[in-house]
Amino acid sequence: MTEVEAKKPQESLQERLAQVVELLQRHRLVEDLTHRQEGHHQDRVENLVHRQNLVELQRKLDELHSADIAHILEALPLEDRLTVWQLVKADRDGDILLEVSDAVRETLLADMDDHEILAAAREMDADELADLAQELPRDVVHELMESLDAQQRERVRSALSYGEDQVGALMDFEMVTIREDVSLEVVLRYLRRLKELPGHTDKLFVVDYDGVLAGVLPVKRLLVNDPDKQVAEVMANDPVSFHPDEDAYDAAQAFERYDLISAPVVDRNGKLIGRLTIDEMVDLIREESEAEVLNMAGLREEEDIFASVWKSVRNRWAWLAINLVTAFVASRVIGLFEGSIEKLVALAALMPIVAGIGGNSGNQTITMIVRAMALDQMGTGNTRRLVRKELGVSLINGLVWGGVIGLVAWLLYGSWSLGVVMTAAMTLNLLLAALMGVLIPMTLVRLGRDPALGSSVMITAVTDSGGFFIFLGLASLFLT
Amino acid sequence: MTEVEAKKPQESLQERLAQVVELLQRHRLVEDLTHRQEGHHQDRVENLVHRQNLVELQRKLDELHSADIAHILEALPLEDRLTVWQLVKADRDGDILLEVSDAVRETLLADMDDHEILAAAREMDADELADLAQELPRDVVHELMESLDAQQRERVRSALSYGEDQVGALMDFEMVTIREDVSLEVVLRYLRRLKELPGHTDKLFVVDYDGVLAGVLPVKRLLVNDPDKQVAEVMANDPVSFHPDEDAYDAAQAFERYDLISAPVVDRNGKLIGRLTIDEMVDLIREESEAEVLNMAGLREEEDIFASVWKSVRNRWAWLAINLVTAFVASRVIGLFEGSIEKLVALAALMPIVAGIGGNSGNQTITMIVRAMALDQMGTGNTRRLVRKELGVSLINGLVWGGVIGLVAWLLYGSWSLGVVMTAAMTLNLLLAALMGVLIPMTLVRLGRDPALGSSVMITAVTDSGGFFIFLGLASLFLT
């Protein structure tokens, strides 16, 4: 899809969203009135107002960049979203479909017939088609593939053959290749003949006659060097390049580290097969961070904020169920000590403090560790050192805060031994939280899982059951 | 600072880190041996091995890109970090200081004398100097400013006058400006005379004689158009531009939406004063997402994973203290019902289940809402709809999971009325969690605070105290 230059979005996103929402509200108001009069004589004036509102809304939408329309669609409840979607000019459907989140895209596609989908898809590049293909009805994909030329079809197939998290699935095929034995003057003339360059062209790819990458010619060098020089003299020989089966997130981190804008993708033989660009990498960085936040809270996937109640329930039930089991285990731990609680009911009131602070502290540790892992700072034998540090932090926190709360317990219940048990239990539970806060994400990674996945639920499970057991156990031994 | 082309980092970051760590370990081993023999006759062979190790380490470091060295420094404990830092060639100090996180930068600067800092800073551009200036000793900054020419000093001052979260603090001053009444041929010749273009030059800025921005000339257009054309014919008239006092994160989101690589910054009169580039924006997007994760867990700021125990304690104590207060409140709520618990000790075992599931569910809701806010999807009257949806999800979860746990409670304690109270309390607490999960972040935003800030601690406080109160209250009314 050709790039559209963004035009002066001097109003903020919020303002633009507010304007569209206002127009939609007016529209709905009139529609409600019209509906109420059904069967009666339809009022022409109202009909006119109705149409005028829609025209105004359409004009507003036409002014907006596709990315902004995508944003507005995300922020609207389903009904309004579809009203806006129907008003958007058909030739922008493709652009917008590529911009919205998966959850919203699904609702938009459900509203389109095969014919409309095909029309939107026909404008897309091979890599964009591949992105979309998984979500399209089978026969639409089939028809689409038929309509492509052999090279395009091959590209779509190739992109589809890689996993979502591999470089191959994110690369595009729009790039300018040149030979190394020509002068910059020739390159400049060649570019002029192209009429248009692909988006994010900050370098040209230098290949030999077999298509093997020999280097890259940064546009900057093309511009500042003498046109009589040969490409080979000016090009960079050892560019950062990627393989299609590499992890896409690693590539994104490399883009970030080396401030890249585009980079070549080569196969095992060094043959140039595609290109990665910073825009895809930025999206990936954003998505990864979001996934981390969501995973820690035990949300399975991105959830459109206006998803139906039923969809949300499905998204969230899994971790709630796990939490139910862990909460039940904690409850059974308490059950073991019912005798002690009957004798000293203060234990029931104090035990959630021990568990709660442990949970909070454990969550702090696990958040730190998950973050360090995401940034590739973990591994190579620094585990023990980390555990030691976290244990140190917990020991201090346990003695200080456990001391405070032990004192309060003493004053409140008039038993210094209860206070001591409280302080000891807090300290031990914080140490447990620190240990597990390091070990849970490390174990998840060793099992090949995402370290953030439900880590918050798991650490809380440990600090709850552990906290109850430690506190009630100590109390049973020394107090009752 | 001039851009260095990244060279073939075909080993992964993990591998490179492992190699450096191994060399460091060998180094430390020999050093330990040497130390143990102090006072005795120093063994020349060991001294030689020692030096050889360091030479090898230095060679390894020289091969690495500054960004990679920065990464390795982040992943090393303090002692090793400083060993590596001393081996890094002085002329790369500046680059590396700009790449590392604030926490690590502080440790590196502490290890440098004023002279070294000045040498490193002298290579930097004005915007980079401004970044660093806040963390440098006062007299070093003074000396540094003295050494700059008037224009540079003015630029540093200007950058320092903006808040960290404003566009003005992130813009740089390295850009190519041209006039609109010249031909592309003239522009091409002008560029050749410059010898080098600033990094991320994807467009040239077209200004009039007063320095007012008239448009931008994308390099792509410069390359494909006839050199005889005038700049005015080819340039884009309405480019996305920013003001220095705009919110930097809004700018980053605009870069992401419109796939920008660079964009002009203009003052109130439209005069071009600087430029934003995608690399700064990517860093910002990354930092914002991280801050969100950390804030939700109640961590005050980025914490270097090898920060001292004492520093970590300071970073974490604030939210732990708040948590202590909220846990104490929850404990007092239980205290209100000690009479009921004495009569029916099963209540003590069951009450954490109600509180725990409520906390988990509330965290899911609040995570969703904070995320939607970060993406600017909230506001303009969709609150009520959201609350309704979240209440719906909670009602279903409460009835289903509350029903399950009620059934289990019945079977376990042989009292159907206890089961019913359990189910009712779970449902009510989940409804409370949903309501507060939406209202807490919205209130924080209305108060001008970060919606993620400690949201997890706060929602847990509500669902704990609320859960205990609802469950024990219902039980007191109907069971005892």
In this prediction, residue B1 carries a pLDDT of: 39
**A117 CA to chain B: closest CA distance, Å?**
23
pLDDT score of B380 more than 60: no
Beta carbons of B196 and A381 less than 8 Å apart: no
Angle at CA A213, nearest 5°, toward A210 and A215? 140
In this prediction, residue A3 carries a pLDDT of: 40
Q: B330-342 pLDDT, tens per residue?
A: 888 888 888 888 8
Residue in the block written with tokens 């009479």 = B339
Choice between A178 and B111, residue whose per-residue pLDDT is larger: A178
The token duo for B472 is: 């024990």
B321 close to A (CB below 8 A): yes
Backbone phi and psi for residue A83, each to the nearest 5 degrees, phi listed first: -60, -50
Taking only the tens of pLDDT, chain A with its 480 residues reads 334 444 445 567 777 777 777 787 777 776 666 665 555 555 666 667 777 878 888 888 888 888 888 888 888 888 888 888 888 887 888 889 888 888 888 888 888 888 888 888 887 888 888 888 878 888 888 888 888 888 888 888 888 888 888 999 889 888 899 999 999 999 999 999 998 899 899 999 999 999 999 999 999 999 999 999 999 999 998 889 999 999 998 899 899 888 899 999 999 999 999 999 999 899 888 888 777 777 776 676 666 666 777 778 877 787 788 888 888 888 888 888 888 888 888 899 999 999 989 988 898 888 888 877 877 776 656 677 788 888 998 999 899 989 999 999 999 888 899 999 999 999 999 999 999 999 898 888 888 877 877 788 888 889 999 999 999 999 998 887
**Interface probe, candidates B364, B388, B471, chain A, greatest A C-beta count within 10 A:** B364
Please list every residue in chain A whose beta carbon sits closer than 8 Å to the beta carbon of residue B348. Answer: 334, 338, 341, 345, 347-348, 351
Taking Cα atoms as reference points, which of A61, A77, A78 lies closest to residue A20?
A61
Residues 67-96 of A with CB under 8 A from B: 67-68, 71, 74-75, 77
Please state the length of chain B: 480
- H-helix or E-strand spanning residue B436: helix B416-446
Beta carbons of A282 and B253 less than 8 Å apart: no
Residues 294-313 of A with CB under 8 A from B: 294, 296-299, 303, 305-307, 309-310, 312-313
Residue B2 binned pLDDT confidence (cut-offs 50, 70, 90): very low
The token duo for A187 is: 């390159």
Residue B395 binned pLDDT confidence (cut-offs 50, 70, 90): very high
The edge-to-edge listing of strands for the beta sheet with A203-207 is: A177-178, A203-207, A213-218
Residue B33 binned pLDDT confidence (cut-offs 50, 70, 90): low
DSSP string, B272-319: EEEEEEHHHHHHHHHHHHHHHHHHHTT--S---TT--HHHHHHHHHHH
A160 close to B (CB below 8 A): no
In this prediction, residue A4 carries a pLDDT of: 42
- H-helix or E-strand spanning residue B170: helix B167-170
Please list every residue in chain B whose beta carbon sits closer than 8 Å to the beta carbon of residue A253. Answer: 13
Q: B117-134 pLDDT, tens per residue?
A: 888 888 788 888 888 887
Query: B186: burial class by Cβ within 10 Å (0-12, 13-18, 19+)?
Result: middle
Domains of chain B in sequence order: 13-169 (1.25.60.10), 177-278 (3.10.580.10), 309-478 (1.10.357.20)
CA distance A196 to A2: 9
Average pLDDT over residues B219-234: 94
Question: From the list B196, B250, B393, which residue is nearest A224 (CB)?
Answer: B196
Please list every residue in chain A whose beta carbon sits closer than 8 Å to the beta carbon of residue B5. Answer: 218, 236, 239
pLDDT score of B325 more than 90: no
Question: From the list A21, A219, A319, which residue is nearest B380 (CB)?
Answer: A21
pLDDT score of B424 more than 90: yes
> Percent of chain B beyond pLDDT 70?
90
- H-helix or E-strand spanning residue A266: strand A262-266
CA distance B266 to B270: 5
Kindly list the distances between the CA atom of residue A20 and the CA atoms of A15, B132, B364, B445, in Å, as whole numbers in the listed order.
9, 43, 29, 23
Number of helices (H), then strands (E), belonging to chain A: the values are 22, 5
Backbone phi and psi for residue B183, each to the nearest 5 degrees, phi listed first: -85, 160
Indicate if ipTM > 0.85. Answer: no
Q: In sequence order, which residues have a C-beta less than 8 Å from that of residue A355 and are 6 or more positions away? A: A330, A429, A463, A464, A467, A468, A471, B352
DSSP state of B92: G
Beta carbons of A330 and B356 less than 8 Å apart: yes
Chain A: residue nearest B243 by CA? Answer: A10
**Among A2-11, B259-268, B445-454, the range of highest mean pLDDT:** B259-268
DSSP-derived pairing of the beta strands A177-178 and A203-207? parallel
Report whether A379 contacts B17 (CB < 8 A).
Answer: yes
Kindly list the distances between the CA atom of residue B124 and the CA atoms of B3, B64, B92, B159, in Å, as whole numbers in the listed order.
11, 20, 11, 14
CA distance A254 to A260: 8
**B146 CA to chain A: closest CA distance, Å?**
31
Please state the length of chain A: 480
pLDDT score of B178 more than 90: yes
C-alpha A417: how far from chain center: 50
CA distance B384 to A19: 19
In this prediction, residue A122 carries a pLDDT of: 80
Q: Where are the alpha helices (DSSP H) in A64-137?
A: 66-75, 78-87, 93-99, 102-110, 114-122, 126-133
The token duo for A405 is: 């709360």
Q: B182-201 pLDDT, tens per residue?
A: 999 999 999 999 988 998 99
